[in-house]
Amino acid sequence: MSGTEHDRALGEAVATVVARDPDLRAVYERLGPPPSRREAPGFAALIRILTAQQVSLASASAIWTRLNQILEVNPSAVATATDEVFREAGFSRPKVRYARALAEHVLSGRLDLEALAGDDDEAVRAALTAVPGIGNWTADIYLLFCLGRLDTWPGGDLAIQEALRDIKCLSERPNERQTCLIAEDWQPYRGAAAQLLWQHYRFLKFGDNSAENGVLPVTDGASR
């Protein structure tokens, strides 16, 4: 799916979930459509998502920028980079291990990123989570923003949970199972609803203009 096709599909999906849910419609009416955050699939995108695990938007952006200034983000360069290179970029020790594991899986052929585009969601998730450090959150973000799978539901994402707590006037933040129950009515466009919820979370936390920042969502998503 091209970027234009994805944007059109996202617009149609957003229109569908907004028509179904008055709380999402209120988000849409206040903030407008979520900006397109489609990212080209591949190794660099996965490394970028890894940097976003459990850190703030500003931290993830700074780490990603420094990494690209230091080396070309490809499997060979990441596999051979020293600890000092990663530390200079701002990687934690666990994320250094995860980045190298991903590079090794790609270089060895155990993970064929090009082939994932033709696989169904569960097969993609299984292939990605076989790599140390890649959990469901990372796989879901890749499915949604790199492969354009608009029914992907990252229900374990803390920002999604906080946004749902606010728009649904819940007494406490819902857990992953509870978010999945809420999202059932939005199938097959749960990923479009998630993008509205991320936009609402940024509005709550940062203000009106924050929804335009960044490419991929950067939240407190956990890996494993």
What tens-digit pLDDT sequence spans the chain (224 residues)?
Answer: 566 787 899 999 999 999 999 999 999 999 999 988 888 999 999 999 999 888 877 888 999 999 999 999 999 999 999 999 999 999 999 999 999 999 999 999 999 999 999 999 999 999 999 999 999 999 999 999 999 999 999 999 999 999 999 999 999 999 999 999 999 999 999 999 999 999 999 999 887 645 444 445 544 444 33
Count CB neighbours of 29 within 10 A. Answer: 10
pLDDT value, residue 200: 96
| Range(s) of the domain holding residue 93 | 43-146
H-state helical runs in the chain? 3-20, 22-31, 43-51, 57-70, 75-80, 83-89, 93-108, 113-116, 121-129, 136-141, 158-167, 176-183, 190-206
Same domain, 17 and 50: no
Confirm whether 220 is domain-assigned. Answer: no
Structure-block tokens of residue 35? 């900006």
Q: What pTM did the predictor assign?
A: 0.89
Do 173 and 196 lie in one domain? The reply is: yes
Say how far apart CA 152 and CA 31 lie, in whole Å.
22
Query: If you search the block for the tokens 């701002």, which residue do you land on?
Result: 90
- CA dihedral sign, ordered 155, 194, 121, 55: negative
Q: Could you read off the pLDDT of 147-162 as tens digits, one per residue? A: 999 999 999 999 999 9
**Do 156 and 130 fall within a single domain?**
no
Could you tell me if 125 and 203 lie in one domain?
no
Model pLDDT, residue 217: 52
Give me the CATH number covering residue 77.
1.10.340.30
Domain boundary among 103, 126, 146: 146
Structure tokens at 178: 């509870």
Among 107, 126, 146, residue at a domain's last position: 146
Distance, C-alpha 202 to centroid of its chain: 14
| Position 222 in a domain | no
Cis peptide before 188 (omega within 30 of 0): yes
pLDDT digits 0-9 by tens, 190-218: 999 999 999 999 999 887 645 444 445 54
**Residue carrying structure tokens 């200034």:** 69
CA 192, CA 64: separation in Å to the nearest integer? 25
Last residue of a domain, one of 91, 122, 146: 146
Q: How many domains does the chain have?
A: 2
How far apart CA 71 and CA 213 sit, in angstroms, is 24
CB under 8 Å to 204, separation ≥6 — which residues? 162, 163, 166
Q: How many CB atoms lie within 10 A of CB 101?
A: 17
